[in-house]
Amino acid sequence: MNDIKLKESVIKFFSIDYKTDDNGFVSNPHSHKHYEIFYFEKGNASHFIDFEEFEIKDNSFFLISYNQVHYITAKPNSHNIGYVISIDHEIIHLLDNEMTELFGGFSQSPAFYLKKDDFFTSLFKQIQAESQFKKPKSNELILHFIKILLTYVCREQKQIPQVKADKNNLYLKFLTLLENNFNQIKSVQGYAKLLHVTAKQLNMVCKKATKKTALSVIHERINLEAKRKLFYSESPVKDICYDLGFEDTGHFNNFFKKMNRKTPMEFRDEMFQIFN
């Protein structure tokens, strides 16, 4: 097999080795247009991903998808050691569907806690070496190493096994349509029509996969995007409202408050107070 022809920038490698003082540490919230694999050999912190807290502990993996807002808070007097690999779309598209589906979005937990295995550290060091000292077939080796890492994570994946087993599953098709249309189509009937099923069938599939109704899944995706925009942009609430397909700010405010028990401005002010 010929060496995979990829730009040097499509895979980047970083080491994590930081100790905190009595005040702890909070990283700057941010999002990316690429994907990231985090592995912590040693951890005592929290990883906030799309506003949900996940514990960072020894031997934990985090798979961050593009556009996910995330940041890390490390506890006082702690020591966190690990690695990060950033992966461009060009690489992601070379992975199996089962692997790419591990990179979250709102329907998939980004956190995986595996048993201690020195093999993981060895793989990351191999990826680091191949990234730094380009040799023949380096890109090919890096891709294989990443596939091996994600294969181990796949083994631990227990979120919705009945969905993962079927690449043509109706629920996965629904999620794909939702990701592309959540700011335009907000009804269960609208997605059911596109999928050529009844609303009742779509609800049954969602409940089997997530124990939630199809409408709940739709609302959660819209709510996530609302929080991302409120947090990560300076756009006025009325502009965010229209971007998300709401007819007026009153309707958007009521929706957001029902989902979060606070208004859009209260949420934005709360985030501002935390990080400023």
Pick 2 or 143 by higher pLDDT: 143
CA atoms within 13 A on the CB side of 202: 24
pLDDT digits (tens, 9 = 90+) for 18-74: 899 998 888 888 888 899 999 999 999 999 999 999 999 999 999 999 888 899 999
Quote the pLDDT of residue 7.
59
What pLDDT is recorded for position 230?
Answer: 93
- Assign 77 a pLDDT band (cuts: 50, 70, 90): very high
- Tokens representing 119? 């093999």
Specify whether the CB–CB gap between 203 and 197 falls below 8 A.
no
pLDDT 10s digits, 82-96: 999 999 887 888 888
User: What average pLDDT does this structure show over 238-244?
Assistant: 96
Q: Name residue 42's beta-bridge partners.
A: 81
Residue 5 has pLDDT above 70, yes or no: no
DSSP letter at 68 equals -
169, 163 in Cβ contact below 8 A? yes
Identify which of 156, 99, 149, 147 has the alpha carbon closest to the alpha carbon of residue 123: 149
Q: Is the pLDDT of residue 165 over 50?
A: no
pLDDT of residue 117: 86
Taking alpha carbons only, the member of 105, 109, 15, 18 closest to residue 55 is 109
Q: What percent of the chain has pLDDT over 70?
A: 91
Pick from 172, 145, 130, 150: nearest CA to 62: 150
Which fold is adopted by the domain 164-275? Arc Repressor Mutant, subunit A (1.10.10)
Predicted model pTM? 0.82
**Which among 10-19, 163-172, 244-253 has the top mean pLDDT?**
244-253
Domain ranges of the chain: 8-159, 164-275
Say what the pLDDT of residue 2 is.
43
Note the pLDDT of residue 169: 83
pLDDT value of position 163: 44
Please count the other Cβ atoms lying within 10 Å of the Cβ belonging to residue 140.
Answer: 15
More confident residue, 109 or 174: 174
Angle at the Cα of 138 (from 137 to 139), degrees rounded to 5?
Answer: 95
Q: pLDDT value at position 23? A: 87
Q: Does position 138 have pLDDT exceeding 90, yes or no? A: no
Confidence of residue 206 (pLDDT cuts 50, 70, 90): very high
Is the model's pLDDT at 161 over the cut of 60? no
- Burial class from Cβ neighbours inside 10 Å (0-12, 13-18, 19+) for residue 94 reads middle
Residue 80 in tokens: 């966190």
The confidence score (pLDDT) of residue 233 equals: 85
- Collapsing DSSP to helix, strand or coil, 251 comes out as helix
**The domains spanning 8-159 and 164-275 adopt the same CATH topology:** no
Lowest mean pLDDT among 51-65, 103-117, 226-240: 103-117
Phi, psi of 206 (to 5 degrees): -65, -40
Contacts of 94 (CB under 8 A, 6+ apart): 4, 143
Mean pLDDT of the chain: 88
Residue of higher predicted confidence among 220 and 116: 220
Q: Tokens in use for 19?
A: 């100790």
8-159 has which fold? Jelly Rolls (2.60.120)
Joined tokens for residue 61 = 């993996």
